[in-house]
Amino acid sequence: MEPGATVVTDGLSVYNRLGTEGYEHLPHVVTTGGDAARQQLEHVHLVISLLKRWLGATHQGAVTPSHLQAYLDEFSFRFNRRRSRYRGNLFYRLMQQSVTTRPPGVKALYVPKTQPDVVT
């Protein structure tokens, strides 16, 4: 995420420091509660719940900040294809992407980036 980007979050206080980190923070607080809040955030809560269960079960909580983006990419790949009519194509598409995408070198997996990861 580029500095200066607009970040929309819920009203949780942990996000308050985004403004001091160079981002425009727009908290979206649903004060009405009840059905209105559930309808507005239904899919967000579903995805977050599935992600937390997947990270906890598959990776058993051993997710490092430097590898988090790769885990999120894999989750997105799987989530976006969960209702595919052509489940057999899942393996085909994965192989197609692995052949056309150049993998990072071994050193790139373990050498810290120039910018530190921010995980809250």
pLDDT one-digit tens code per residue, 23-36: 888 887 766 566 76
Which is it for strands 24-27 and 6-9: parallel, antiparallel or unpaired?
parallel
What residues have CB less than 8 Å from 27, skipping those under 6 apart? 8, 9, 10, 11, 15
pTM (2 decimals)?
A: 0.47
* pLDDT band (50, 70, 90) for residue 38: low
* pLDDT band (50, 70, 90) for residue 48: confident
The mean pLDDT of 98-109, rounded to a whole number, is: 82
What residues have CB less than 8 Å from 72, skipping those under 6 apart? 51
What residues have CB less than 8 Å from 33, skipping those under 6 apart? none
Rounded Cα gap, residues 71 and 60, in angstroms: 12
pLDDT tops 60 at residue 111: yes
Secondary structure (3-state) at 86: coil
Taking CA atoms, 53 is separated from 28, 60, 75, 85, in Å, by: 25, 9, 11, 24
Q: How far is it between the farthest Cα atoms of the chain?
A: 50
The mean pLDDT of 61-82, rounded to a whole number, is: 83
**Which of residues 84 and 47 earns the better pLDDT score?**
47
Mean pLDDT of all residues belonging to the chain: 78
* pLDDT band (50, 70, 90) for residue 120: very low
Rounded Cα gap, residues 91 and 45, in angstroms: 28
